[in-house]
């Protein structure tokens, strides 16, 4: 089963992808994570995209399609979760062609609906464990007082460079201008389901399970 998690920054795509990896053993393909890895390891491509990412703009279709192409087919059974990809119509077309070439189905596209105010609150308060990627929120799920991640024992926590209000505005604009047309695109293909992403993460996970089991 291969699925796309679609939604604005802060909708909870990464959190739900992590839950699905645990519950279903699926493989998460997050282009955001791949790009951040390229930056950390200092590759030419990583250097090229750094400023674009920090500003909250989309990197080129060519780069992200290339990243996905490299990973696809490398044994994603029992299926892939596309997280943060596709983000443009060109990427959606390219993904369709890649899946077709590999004989893989696209089973569901799950739109995670969250209103803008909640997104800003979530993102500006967000941090993650540097070791396992567990997501924390200053208000709703603070880092434990002992400074130890209960998930993995890690003690280093990071905030993303683009998780600030300025960059977030650009990211939201990019979402509405370039990514939200994918809602109609996948609706027309009969693939789209929506879940209320404002609920707590366990309730969202249950809603996603219902879609996948339908
Ligand atoms: P994310 O972690 O998904 O929020 O992505 C962080 C940043 O990486 C985005 O703001 C973009 O600059 C870049 N990025 C991630 N995925 C894509 C994509 N599919 N297309 C273009 N840019 C992307």
Predicted confidence at residue 139, as pLDDT, reads 87
Q: Ligand 1 pocket, 59 CB below 6 A?
A: yes
Going by pLDDT thresholds of 50, 70 and 90, the confidence category of residue 76 is low
Active-site annotation holds for 87: yes
First to last CA, the chain: 13
15-43 pLDDT per residue, tens: 999 999 999 999 999 999 999 999 999 99
147-203 pLDDT per residue, tens: 999 999 999 999 988 888 888 999 999 999 999 999 999 999 999 999 999 999 999
Token pair listed for 121: 């609150």
Active-site annotation holds for 126: yes
User: In terms of DSSP bridges, do strands 157-158 and 126-129 run parallel, antiparallel, or are they unpaired?
Assistant: antiparallel
Phi, psi of 62, rounded to the nearest 5 degrees: -55, -45
């Amino acid at each position: 089963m291969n699925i796309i998690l679609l939604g604005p920054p802060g909708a909870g795509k990464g959190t739900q992808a992590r839950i699905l990896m645990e519950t279903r053993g699926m493989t998460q393909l997050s282009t955001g994570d791949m790009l951040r890895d390229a930056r950390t390891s200092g590759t030419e491509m990583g250097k090229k995209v750094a400023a674009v990412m920090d500003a909250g703009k989309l990197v080129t279709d060519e780069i992200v399609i290339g990243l996905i192409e490299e990973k696809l087919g490398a044994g994603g059974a029992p299926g892939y979760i596309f997280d943060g990809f596709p983000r443009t119509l060109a990427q959606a077309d390219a993904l369709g062609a890649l899946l077709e070439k590999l004989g893989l189905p696209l089973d569901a596209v799950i739109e995670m609906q969250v209103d803008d105010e909640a997104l800003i609150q979530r993102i500006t308060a967000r941090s993650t464990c540097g070791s396992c990627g567990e997501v924390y929120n200053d208000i709703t799920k603070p880092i434990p007082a002992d400074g130890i991640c209960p998930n993995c024992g890690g003690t280093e926590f990071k905030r993303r460079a683009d998780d600030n209000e300025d960059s977030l505005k650009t990211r939201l604009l990019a979402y509405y201008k370039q990514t939200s047309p994918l809602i109609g695109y996948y609706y027309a293909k009969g693939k789209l389901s929506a879940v209320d992403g404002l609920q707590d993460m366990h309730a969202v996970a249950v809603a996603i399970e219902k879609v996948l089991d339908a």
